[in-house]
Amino acid sequence: MRTLAVAAVLSLMPVTAFAISECRVTGNPSVFGVDMTAYFAIRSGETCNFPMRLPGAMHNSGVSQKPAHGTLRQINVTTFRYSAASGYKGNDTFAIYGEGKGPYGSGRSVMTVSATIE
């Protein structure tokens, strides 16, 4: 009976969903085996997901250079989450890599990312 009462109370509690938006990235898309550069802007203290989209199948990825004015966390093999430091305004740079094979090439690609923190 207690379990039922607890379940009933929990079902009445509001659930807050916090969706992380995707970073609005500019730059030229690339293929596996070719390095690239990307750019995006973000507000101080905010967070966005940064996808690494290359045609084909990515088998491995990671962070090759951490940001100096924010945090970067890998969510899955193709997505990273960047959080800009609160109170900081200026530029930040980080680099991520992806390894895989696609229709136009294979190998390791490094993406250097320049963030403008507003």
- The 3 state secondary structure assigned to the chain is CHHHHHHHHHHHCCCCCCCCCECCCEECCCCCCCCEEEEEEECCCCEEEEECCCCCEEEEEEEEECCCCEEEEECCCCEEEEEECCCCCEEEEEEEEEEEEECCEEEEEEEEEEEEEC
The hierarchical CATH code for the domain 21-117 is 2.60.40
For range 6-35, the mean pLDDT:
69
Say what the pLDDT of residue 92 is. Answer: 98
Residue reference for tokens 């970067």: 72
Say what the pLDDT of residue 29 is. Answer: 77
Say what the pLDDT of residue 28 is. Answer: 79
Say what the pLDDT of residue 77 is. Answer: 96
Banded pLDDT at 17 (limits 50, 70, 90): very low
**For 52-100, how does the pLDDT look when each residue is reduced to its tens digit (9 = 90+)?**
989 999 999 999 999 999 999 999 999 999 999 999 999 999 999 999 9
**For 26-62, how does the pLDDT look when each residue is reduced to its tens digit (9 = 90+)?**
887 789 999 999 999 999 999 999 899 899 999 999 9
Say what the pLDDT of residue 18 is. Answer: 60
> 82: burial class by Cβ within 10 Å (0-12, 13-18, 19+)?
buried
Query: What per-residue string of b and e applies to 60-74 under the rule 16 or more CB within 10 Å gives b?
Result: ebeeeeebebbebee
Where along the chain do its domains lie? 21-117
